[in-house]
Structures are given as C-alpha cells and as structure tokens.
Chains A and B, each alone.
Chain A
Amino acid sequence: MKKAFEIFLGILTAFGGFVDIGDLVANAETGARFGMHLAWMVVVGVIGIVIYAEMSGRVATMSQRPVFDIIRERLGARLALVNLGASFFINLLTFAAEIGGLALVVELVTGINYLLWVPMLAIGVWIVLWKVRFSVMEKVFGLSGLALIVTVLALWRLDPGLANTFSSAGRFGPPAGEDWPTYAFFAIALLGAAMTPYEVFFFSSGAVEDNWTRKDLIVNRANVYIGFPLGGILSLAIMGASAALFQPRGVSVDHLSQVTLPVSASVGQVGLVFLLYGMFAAIFSAALETALSAGYTVSQFFGWQWGKFVRPREAARFHVVILFTLCVGVLIALSTLDPIVVTEYSIVLSAAALPLTYLPILIVANDPAYMKDKTNSKALNAVAFAFLLLLLVVSIVTIPLMIWTKAGA
C-alpha cells in the first residue's frame, strides 16, 4: 500500500514538474504560428525524454553512480571536459532563462517590472536549495505545478470536443504563409524544450540523493513512463489553446503575458490564478533543478563531494558552483536581454548538445559491469539508438538552420 502511494506521488510529481519556461514559450509560440502542425514533435520529444530519463535513473540506481561521473569514465578526460564545458554553458543559459521567466510571472501578478524581482527570486531559489530537503523540495514544487492542468480546461473550452485541434494535429508540414526551414527550426526548439539535458543530470543524481535501490526501479519506471507523458499533455494543451485563440487572429506569441490570454479568455480569473500559480511552481522547480545540475555536473567530473544528502560544509565546492551559477544567471537575467529570447536560445542550443549527453548513457545502460542484470532490452536499444541518430541530425543542422531562418524570425 505504501509502495503504491509512493508510486502515485512520484507520478504526480513528475507530471507537475515536467513543464518549464522552455516548454511554455516553445509550445505557446509554436501553437500561435503553426497551429497543431508540430504537435507530433512534442510527442517525439516526450518519448525521447522518457526513454533516456528512465535509462539514466536505472544507470544511477544500479551502479550507484550518477551520469556525469560515468561520462568521464566512458568518454575519457578530454572529451568529457569538452562535454562539461558545453553542458555547463547551456545549463547556465537555461538557469538564466528560468529565473527570468520566474520574474516575468511575478511581474504578471504585481505589475512591477520583472528586473526588480530577479535578485530576490534567485535568493529564494538559493534558500530552498540550501535548507529544504531534496525529497520535500521535489514534491512541493512538482505537485504545485499540477495547477497547470487548467490549460487543458482552457483548450476544451476554446475548442469544445477538440475537433479542430485534432484535425490540425494530423497535418504535417508548415501551414500557409510559413516555410519549411522555419517549421524545422521550431521543431528543433520543441525537441530541445522537451528533452532538456539538465533533466537527465538531475534525475540520475536525484536517484543517488534519494538513495534508490533496485526495489525502487519500479518507482522510476512509473514516474517516467506515466508522469512525463502526462506532463507532455500539458505541453500540447498549451500549444492547442494558443493555436485556438491566436492562430485565426494572426497573433504571434512573443511575451509570457500573451500565454495568459487563452486561459483568461476561457476560464476567467479563477483559471488565471491557477495558471500563474502553476507557472510559478513549475518554473521555480526548473530553476532549482538547473542550479543543482550545474553543481552535479562539475562536481561529478572532478570527483568532488556533491549532493544535498551531506551537509553543505562537506560539499563546499559543489555549493560554490551552485552559488556561481546563481550569480551569473542573475547577471544574465539583469542584462535586460529579453528572457524569452534567452529561453529560445537555451532550448535550441540544448537540442544541439543532446547527443553528447545521451550517447554515454546509452552505452553504459548496456554494460553489465554497471547495470548487473538490468541492461537494456533489445527493443529499448533499437528505439534509443534511432533517437540518437535523430539527435545527431538535429545537432548538425541546428546552428546552420538558426542562421538561415534568423532564429525563426
């Protein structure tokens, strides 16, 4: 009974914690411009993150070693250092996007300019990281993110029966007035938003933080296989609601404020309260995860003590890296670079860097020396490998496409 409850809670936490500023921005922008013609990409992205998050959780549980630790062993010092550099930079950018997004949500509630909120929110993030226990932190923010379910209600009200939504979702290719390169670019952005690298680092380190043993593998599987797809439904709802309200009117989404309109229009003030609360919780949770990921990756590469499972004084350098990330993230957010633009760059660069992260995981997940009897099945290997090929293609075309389409302008 207790196990069932634990699984249930884990699923809800994964569900509510799935969306972050990248998903909010990517799905809302895409819905307004392309209707549901890119809904399939969200599905692809969710499948990808499900496969690799489960794998990284299993790797960490069976080997008791988190991902970046193993990346160095498997790629060698030089390649792993390059990997670390790229991952750290993208992580930093993602954190800056999350803290900027968080400040935008508070601006929407208070009307006071977002820049003033950035430092305060960063301090809030740090206090939670410093003081709150890992499992409590995960659950509180994850479950609060469930408030975003209001977007499903909004979509239902805007398009009752979802007839238009589904028919649009069945179409492949850019709608009238848009071209293939931009379509492809937005597809890559959606992929990067769903398959964020920090998720994998956080998830695998979390398995060690939460002290998972092989008995917990089923919790891992349930969280990921059920919770993440449910989170994916929220992404699709955001896309659909945005499409229903904005696409017929020729409105393009460039601000977080516009993301509130579909919910306001269809559910009113009560819905808006849920939406803002849910956005705040989901983005706050993502800010925590990216900050921790920065600490995890650097510490795990160099072999420093890491984790919230020891006292801060016993993992000093780990916490210094987190402080550094918070400070630089705040500076980037305060640089008056539009947080939406920072978000766009972070998700696109994330997509480009995915093979670096995922290849070592796939290889280690097949190694009985780490996995004991829980290596990948042939079927899983086939799908995971196909994904890796896709990610490799994405990686190669991302930067040229970004230049060609002027970042989707």
Chain B
Amino acid sequence: MRLADLIGSVVVDANGIEIGDVGDVWLIQDGPPMGVFGAALRVDRLVIGRFGLASRAGYERPAVRGPVIIARLLRGRTEARPVASWSDIAAIEEGRIRLRTRAGDLERPRSLEQAQTGRRWSAGLELLDRQLVDPDGLMAGKIDDLRLELRDDGPPVVTDILAGPGALARRIGGRLGGWIASVHARLHPGSGDPATISFGAVGRVDDHVTLIVSREELPTFAAEAWARDRIIAKLPGSGEA
C-alpha cells in the first residue's frame, strides 16, 4: 500500500457520515530497527480535514507569525481537526476509509504532540516532497511517496521511499496524474512499479533527507544516467565545471 492511497481518501465514520478527507498522516518512530535511521516509522494517526495551504505553509507552528493577515486567516483553519488512529479503522476501500468509531468520539489534538514511545512525524510536512541528498552531497530526487507494508501485529510500517514520475503520478491524482503515469509506463516498459528506495538507505532527516547510499546505486538514477550517457557526455567539455 502507498501513502498516496491513504491521503485524499474520504473518511466515513461508524454511522456512515462523511467526516472529510485524509489530509495528512502522522507516523511514529517505534517500529523494528531500520539501519542508520533508527526505528522504522509506523502509521500512527490519520489527520482528517483538508491539508491545505494553511498547514503546508506551517501555520500550525506558533513560531510562524507573519505576514499577520495571512497568518490570522489561515491559522484558524488548522485547529482541532479530528484524528483517527489505526485501530479506529474498520476497512480500507478504494478511495474510502470506514471507521468503527463515531465522528464525535475522535480525538481533536491542537497540534502534533510528541509521544512516549518514539518521535512523531508529520508525513505531509516533514517527509513528503523532501529533497534526497546522497553522501557526496549530490541531489537524488525527492520523496514522492512512501510504501507501507501491512502488518498483522499493528499499524503498517514504512518500508520504502518511492521516487520518480511513476510515484509522483499517484500523488498528483486526477487526469494529470494518470497522464504522467502512462508516459512513465511507456518509457519503462515491463515494470509496473515506481522506483523504490529502501528506507534503510536513509541516514538522517532534517530539512532534507541524507542517504547513506550513493545516488548512482539508486534505481531512480536510471533517467539521469541515460541523459548523461546519451546526450551530455557527447558534448565537449562535459567533464569540466
């Protein structure tokens, strides 16, 4: 399953009432150990409500104060959105998530609070669309999506980063996303999957993601290598700065 399958899905409560769309997913870092990064990330909460400009722009964080008018306008929209934990979910269908709880019984935290068992991350704010950088400081794409592995003993675990147009297409959604996906499929015949980078390759995450693997070893490097070998290397002086 992919994170893009969760985000944007309509959430319906136990009484069949539509509460809203999944706007963001909070992950908690308390899974099995995954390399240098530490414990793996597991799905913790689904944040319901549109994850619009307000949250993306960071107005959930009190430190972001200006410009004053925009802040006042948008801060109100980020407060007290309902949040469902994995155990509240009854079934996940195509584009829809049915809860076994009623809307009124859902938590409404003011903001992402840290937990005891591990650090909480907002996938939308801190992981998705982050720049990947390899150990040599070279850029290696972005986190376009995350792959989740369903487990019997609890919430799904984030196992891989999905990068490249194949992954991005699902996040974009709609007709545009479908078009991107078909172009990607045509350029990479045979493989149905988007390029996958194991989460074990992640070293550190701050304002960008530092990998422990050189970008040339990543499957996402194929297009760059092709451009380099077929076009750029043929031009004189491509090896000098």
Asked if A and B touch directly (CB within 8 angstroms), the answer is yes
Q: Which residue on A lies nearest to B130, using beta carbons? A: A73
The count of A-to-B residue pairs whose CB atoms sit within 8 angstroms is: 124
Is the CB of B97 closer than 8 A to any CB of chain A?
Answer: no
- Tally chain A residues at the interface, Cβ within 8 Å: 46
Cβ contact within 8 Å between B168 and A77: yes
Q: Which of B128, B138, B223 makes the CB contact (< 8 A) with A310?
A: B138
CA distance A81 to B177 in the complex (A): 10
Query: A331 within 8 Å of B by Cβ?
Result: no
Out of A76, A304, A305, A385, which one reaches B70, CB within 8 Å?
A: A385
Closest to A383 in B: B67
- Measured between beta carbons, the chain B residues less than 8 angstroms from A73 are 56, 129-130
**SS class, residues of chain A in contact with chain B:** helix
Interface residues of A in 20-77 (CB under 8 A from B): 63, 65, 69, 72-77
Taken together as a complex, chains A and B put the C-alpha atoms of A230 and B241 apart, in Å, by 33
CA distance A103 to B208 in the complex (A): 43
Q: Please determine whether B53 and A312 come into contact, CB atoms closer than 8 angstroms.
A: no
Is the CB–CB distance between A367 and B140 below 8 Å?
Answer: no
**Chain A residues in 8 Å Cβ range of B144:** 77
Instruction: Spot the interface stretch: B41-49, B75-83, B224-232.
Output: B224-232
Say yes or no: A319-B232 contact (C-beta < 8 A), given A63-B207, A75-B53, A363-B70: yes
- Bound together, the chains give a CA A76 to CA B125 distance in angstroms of 9
B102 in contact (CB, < 8 A):
no
Q: Is B66 an interface residue (CB 8 A)?
A: yes
Task: Please provide the chain A residues from 304 to 345 with a CB less than 8 Å away from any CB of chain B in the complex.
Answer: 304-306, 308-314, 316-317, 319-320, 323
- List A contacts of B241 (CB < 8 A): 133, 308-311
Instruction: Say yes or no: is B172 at the interface (Cβ < 8 Å to chain A).
Output: yes
Selected from B130, B141, B163, B237, the residue in CB contact (under 8 A) with A312 is B237
Contacts of A306 in B (CB 8 A): 139
Q: Which residues of A from 328 to 384 have beta carbons under 8 Å from B? A: 362-363, 366-370, 375-376, 378, 381-382, 384
In chain A, residues 264-300, which have Cβ atoms closer than 8 Å to a Cβ of chain B? none
Query: If A78-B173, A385-B69 touch, does A366 touch B64 (CB 8 Å cutoff)?
Result: yes
Q: Which residues of the partner chain B approach A309 to less than 8 Å between Cβ atoms?
A: 241
User: Cβ of B224 and Cβ of A317 under 8 Å apart?
Assistant: yes
Is the C-beta of A173 less than 8 angstroms from some C-beta in chain B? no
The residues of B with any CB-CB pair to A shorter than 8 Å are 51, 53, 56-58, 61, 63-71, 124, 128-132, 138-142, 144, 163, 168, 171-174, 176, 207-208, 223-225, 227-228, 231-233, 235, 237-241
Q: What are some 7 contacts across the A-B interface (CB < 8 A)?
A: A63-B207, A72-B129, A80-B129, A81-B172, A305-B139, A363-B58, A369-B64
